[in-house]
């Protein structure tokens, strides 16, 4: 039997694990006998839609549906089948059907080079591992925010050592244990949507690095900002359409717990932020970096003054300056 590969051509795959796919949609209430669908990992728009999963894999979807039906306890969790790891999301539809979407996870943490991050940007990102503060990664769903955050954490632990703690729901990449010669990572899985408590506990472990899977609640946003201003390097992600929207989304949550002090904490703690989208050649980053130990940094000032909407112009200038300095086209991100 054949299946579609990344380019949409046919490729042999005797087992489901052999077929390249990003998302698998399985109907649970029919015991997996209904029409399953999948989406390829390809990033060109011609391959972005879902396709019917070939009948060749019907027996496996029946097994998956049965296991899902027996293990579903919440809307989102991790899931494993035949050596594959997934991030599972469950939903009961208005018509009564029950479906699960399984986002396939490569459990091995990739390097920045394997992610095809441009060399000049990778150099800048690696330097951040020697700083404190907040790294805020934004972008659409499915565009590699979590993968990028883990690639950074693994890189920092290998290069600089120290203790790293990840707080996730669910745990995706396996990074627990020794990382490099002097680094060690502990991974915590959030239970019952309580992000603030494990974050607060994690800080008592004096981590050098703290990775938070996603900003989801006011108290979690507050803990993230407090950690970023007390000697830790915090890496977190947020769904947003731009850098400015990511700042406003984080502040909206944090203000509910801090009573209006969030903008001062963000201004003080911000180290870097970028919005990323995946393309067929790798991630495209629109980024901004703050100056270390400079409270007068323009981005910090604009945040304190409630002028986040004006940061866009500064971002353009910073990217252009970096492009001129290293000979990179600021629009395409490629050498001139």
Domains of the chain as residue ranges with CATH: 2-105 (3.30.450), 119-326 (3.40.50.300)
| β-pair type (133-139, 233-239) | parallel
Contacts of 311 (CB under 8 A, 6+ apart): 243, 244, 247, 288, 299, 302, 303
CA angle in degrees (0–180, nearest 5) for 195-201-204: 145
pLDDT at 5: 38
What pLDDT score was predicted for residue 315? 87
Whose structure tokens read 């209904």?
Answer: 34
pLDDT tens digits, one per residue of 244-259: 999 999 999 999 998 8
pLDDT at 186: 96
| Residue 10 reports pLDDT greater than 70 | no
Q: pLDDT for 101-147, tens place per residue?
A: 998 887 789 999 999 999 989 999 999 999 999 999 999 988 889 99
pLDDT one-digit tens code per residue, 18-65:
888 889 999 998 877 778 999 887 655 555 678 899 988 989 999 999
- Buried b vs exposed e over 8-37: b needs ≥16 C-beta within 10 Å? eeeeebeebeebbbbbbbbbbeeebebebb
* Of residues 198, 176, 127, the one with CA closest to residue 156: 127
pLDDT value, residue 73: 67
Higher pLDDT, 334 or 113: 113
The answer, yes or no, to whether residue 330 has pLDDT greater than 60, is no
Name, in order, each residue with C-beta under 8 angstroms of 288's C-beta and a sequence gap of 6 or more.
243, 272, 273, 274, 299, 311, 314, 315, 318
Q: Do 316 and 304 touch, CB atoms closer than 8 A?
A: no
* Burial (CB count within 10 angstroms: exposed 0-12, middle 13-18, buried 19+), residue 259: exposed
Six-digit token pair at 7? Answer: 């380019």
What mean pLDDT do residues 268-284 have? 92
Token duo for residue 189: 């899985």
- List, for residues 219-238, the tens digit of each pLDDT value: 889 999 999 999 999 999 99
Looking at per-residue pLDDT, the higher value among 81 and 330 belongs to: 81
CA distance 283 to 253: 27
């Amino acid at each position: 039997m054949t299946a579609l590969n990344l380019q949409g051509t046919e490729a042999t795959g005797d087992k489901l694990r052999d077929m390249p796919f990003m998302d698998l949609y399985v109907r649970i209430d029919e015991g997996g006998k209904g029409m399953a669908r999948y989406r390829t990992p390809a990033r060109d728009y011609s391959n972005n839609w879902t396709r019917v999963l070939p009948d060749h894999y019907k027996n496996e979807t029946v097994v998956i549906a049965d296991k899902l039906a027996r293990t579903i306890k919440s809307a989102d969790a991790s899931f494993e089948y035949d050596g594959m790891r997934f991030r599972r999301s469950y939903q009961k539809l208005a018509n009564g059907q029950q479906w699960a979407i399984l986002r396939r996870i490569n459990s091995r943490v990739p390097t920045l080079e394997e992610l095809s991050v441009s060399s000049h940007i990778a150099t800048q990102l690696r330097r951040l591992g020697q700083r404190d503060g907040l790294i805020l990664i934004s972008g659409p769903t499915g565009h590699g925010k979590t993968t990028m955050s883990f690639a950074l954490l693994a890189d920092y632990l290998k290069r600089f050592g120290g203790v790293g703690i990840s707080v996730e729901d669910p745990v995706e990449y396996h990074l627990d244990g020794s990382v490099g010669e002097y680094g060690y990572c502990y991974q915590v899985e959030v239970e019952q949507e309580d992000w603030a408590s494990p974050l607060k506990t994690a800080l008592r472990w004096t981590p050098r690095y703290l990775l938070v899977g996603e900003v989801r609640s006011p108290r979690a946003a507050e803990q993230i900002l407090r950690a970023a201003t007390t000697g830790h390097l915090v890496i977190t992600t947020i769904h947003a359409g731009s850098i400015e929207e990511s700042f406003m989304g984080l502040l909206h949550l944090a203000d509910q717990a801090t009573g209006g002090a969030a903008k001062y904490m963000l201004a003080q703690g911000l180290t870097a932020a970028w919005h990323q989208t995946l393309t067929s050649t790798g991630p495209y980053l629109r980024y901004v970096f703050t100056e270390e130990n400079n409270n007068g940094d323009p981005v910090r000032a604009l945040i304190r003054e409630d002028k986040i909407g004006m940061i866009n112009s500064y971002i353009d200038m910073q990217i252009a300056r970096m492009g001129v300095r290293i000979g990179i086209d600021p629009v395409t991100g490629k050498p001139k």
